[in-house]
Chain A
Amino acid sequence: MHPRPFARREGGALMIAFVIRRLVQGVLVMLVVGFIAFSLFNFVGDPVALMLPPEATQADRQAMRENLGLDRPFYVQFATFVTNAVQGNFGISLRLGRPVSALLVERMPATLELAFIAASLALLVGIPLGVYTGLHRNSWLSRLFLAGSLIGVSLPTFLIGIFLILIFAVWLGVLPSFGRGDTTMVGGWSTGFLTASGLKALILPSITLGLFQLTLIMRLVRSEMLEVLRTDYIKFARARGLTSRAVNFGHALKNTLVPVITITGLQLGAIIAFAIITETVFQWPGMGLLFIQAVQFADIPVMAAYLCLIGFIFVIINLVVDMLYYLVDPRLRVDRTAVGGH
């Protein structure tokens, strides 16, 4: 997890080596995820029980099982999966009878757009609120925001979603309770950003998904601000007569950003991976909904591919976050090995 610091002068080459090493680690992570997943699939049950009607004969069931290779031990099934996956073939969904890769590609835009809006909401609202509550610790508005943030932290996602549906769809009738609205295809990417109904459909799910992250970032920025505002250099900056705007935003806020980036990065992965609940509540046709239905149907090819993909997304996000550190924190760019290691 801890990248080896490298010197600025040989940074380019080291950076590439670093990225390659992380990508190799990523492949290993995905293999391990896949292996664990496959060993667990023995417990999700037999998809054949759901693919055939309850009244199907035993001969039909057995034939189906053998046809799908489900009668083989799990390591053989895993080896087959890896061999095929390397060739870009993730198999056919047992529930929908379509190639898994096509399904994931089809669902990814919905999840990524939702995650993007939810994360933007969390950052664009969370950071200013955090700064405000940090600067005006005792104002009644700050207390209100902090009390309100408890809701975001403590209420489970599905409950927030149901409340929002009840208020805005059933009572007020202004926003849709489910789905993505109308989507437009832009070069193979189905987007909901270009239609009015698509944008309206994004509002409730993105609030539901982003609320926890919003409150988390707000509280994080607030406590970091309080910490930084106590430091000497802020006092000196004030003593030098800099405007409070310059002090608060130019010096204080900038120095709170390292932990915020770490958390945001990890949370972005969490938003994508755990959009499952929000997607289920709002019938949002993303990867999470695909996954939850795959679990209920014991749709092994979809579950395996989804888990590996999520593993891959986490690896990539971690990599990007580690690289962002170097941009934000100049101290990390100095070769510290020269002065005695970490």
Chain B
Amino acid sequence: MLPTMQARRRLALLLLLACLPALAAARTLRYASQDDPQTLDPHSANLLATSRVTGNVYEPLVWRDKEWKVIPWLATSWSQPDEKRWRFRLREGVRFHDGSVLTADDVVFSVARALSPTSQLKVSLQGVEKAVKVDAHTVELVMAKPNPALLSHLTNFRIMSKAWAEKNGSTRPQDYTAKEDTFAARNANGTGAFKVKERQTDVKTVLVSHPDWWGHAAGMNEGNLTEVVMLPIKSNATRLAALLSGEVDFVLDPPTQDVARLRADPAVKVIEGGELRVQYIAFDVFRDELLYGKAGGKNPFKDLRVRQAVAHAIDAEAIRAKVMRGFSRPTGTILTPGVQGYSPDADVRPAYDRERARRLLAQAGYPDGFEVTLDAGNIQPAADIAQAVAAMLSQVGIRVRPNIIPQSNYFPKIEKYDTSFYVLSWGGGVTADALYTLQALLHTANRKGEGDFNMGRWSNARMDELIQQLQSERDPAKRAAASREALLLAGRELPLVTIHQPLIPWAMRRNVSAWFSPVNTVYFYKVRVE
């Protein structure tokens, strides 16, 4: 009798102990940011606010590690049988949130869905024509044209369940001219570490951990969250007040001017990291006469010496200290560390030297400078940078009039090349590959998908050649060499003058720890609350 009693007590105690961690494990992260996700559809809007949710709920074939290198995810291995085909072996035993198992059919369906006309994610399948099922766990992507950066692109393409989408009439992403919204815009069924429990637009999105996530067994789970409440709070002051009062645990986007105050609060901590983005100003080097400005009937920006003068006149260090309050890293090239093809020897800023700038202007035939309008969108920090650059250039005689207009008017304007001088930023994080950035910014603009963001219409035959090489070359060493040469060429010719890479602060309660990803997105499977 006695031993049994003891055994029973011991069992009860053991059970209790076993329960304790389970009880303590109910951990919620209340997460606040300015924007609400536009939709839950992973193929509808290619916007950050959306992928911050879909990136936690849906999963790609390949993903990235902490060094931002491509790693196996839903696909465990891949090969290229020939130029036109990529073959992916899918992970076994992956379950969607509704319990169904991931198969090749889901991948084939998702590729077709992301390539359909209403999808905004076509870019993440660049070069892909279609997907073909080989067997239940093998898929082939058939390429229309080669894409050496395909794996990088695929990190942004997420897999949806075919059966679920068909059952709920969501085989196509939202059509904005339709009468109704699609089911997949408000509901989700991915394979990710978190599933959507509740979604109220502009109020909250509640995620709970997915117990059958394959990552638990595969050792991918570094976090301990059981629930995430994502709260949009538009007003900066209110968002910070909610953090200080303890109503939220995490703020994605604290205004930089408040970071010093937050750091002084013992209950709160701030971490920061570099986003894969570069802020720059660029010139119209196409027209023979300035469209907006006065320079005696000429376009001074066609002269390299004038572009050099502008580069020498800009004090990126002062912009870092005053405009960015320390939250930037002055940079001399359009790619950032972490992007495939970045080359440190190209990352050199022209020295800040006003005298030299004045001399260069005089040599170019503008001893008294000239007048020009600098266009910028009204989002920060672009607008403040435009003001600062205007002041700095006026010191060397270039009289700059900043023209700051709403972002929704700014893009259509510069897209028509309706500018002489403009401020822009470019995020290379989507693919983290040189091709993506160089092709859009520095290739001759041909309105055929090349040079789409080369609004100054700079054109250089060697640059186009190098970009073509990057497009077709598969050997990593040769690609790196081509990219390095392109960056050095851009640094010499200065079709644009880079200013800095922004650093992003995240604010959180002291008991929260998170991994800063270079796309400014929180991946909740890496978040811990103690």
Contact = CB atoms under 8 A, between A and B. Distances in A.
Interface of A: 43-61, 63, 67-69, 89, 92, 94-99, 102-103, 106, 162, 165-166, 169-170, 173, 176-180, 280-283, 285, 289-290, 292-293, 297-298
B453 interface: yes
Contacts of B201: 96, 98, 103, 106
Interface stretch (B65-73, B173-181, B358-366): B173-181
B442 to A, nearest CB: 14
Contacts of B231: 178-179, 283
B167 interface: no
Contacts of B182: 97
A304 to B, nearest CB: 15
B241 interface: yes
Contacts of A281: 235, 237-238
Contacts of B411: 46, 48-49, 54, 61
A99 to B, nearest CB: 6
Contacts of A169: 241-242, 245, 247
Contacts of A290: 202
B112 interface: no
Contacts of B245: 169-170, 173, 177
Determine chain B's interface SS by DSSP, over half rule. loop
A106 B199 CA distance: 13
Contacts of B203: 179-180, 285
A92 B178 contact: yes
Given A52-B46, A94-B176, A162-B237, A58 B232 contact: no
A251 B234 CA distance: 49
B289 interface: no
Contacts of A99: 179-181
A46 B234 contact: no
A298 to B, nearest CB: 4
A292 B427 CA distance: 27
B245 to A, nearest CB: 5
A48 to B, nearest CB: 8
Given A49-B411, A99-B180, A283-B235, A55 B427 contact: yes
B408 A44 contact: yes
Nearest to B41: A97
B231 to A, nearest CB: 7
Nearest to A172: B245
A97 B123 CA distance: 20
A40 to B, nearest CB: 13
Given A51-B120, A285-B200, 6 more contacts: A56-B123, A97-B182, A98-B181, A99-B180, A170-B244, A281-B237
Interface string B431-454: 000001000100000011100110
B38 interface: yes
B234 A289 contact: yes
A247 to B, nearest CB: 48
B395 interface: no
A97 B181 contact: yes
A176 B176 contact: no
Most buried by A among B179, B200, B238: B238
A179 B202 CA distance: 10
A282 B452 CA distance: 40
B45 interface: yes
Nearest to B448: A59
A49 B176 contact: no
Nearest to B51: A53
Contacts of A282: 238
Contact of B412 (A49, A103, A106): A49
Contact of B179 (A46, A89, A103, A180): A89
Contacts of A56: 46, 120, 123
Nearest to A50: B408
B390 interface: no
B415 interface: yes
B333 interface: no
A200 B123 CA distance: 47
Contacts of A283: 231-235, 238
Contact of B176 (A67, A180, A297): A67
Contacts of A97: 38-39, 41, 44-45, 174, 176, 181-182, 185
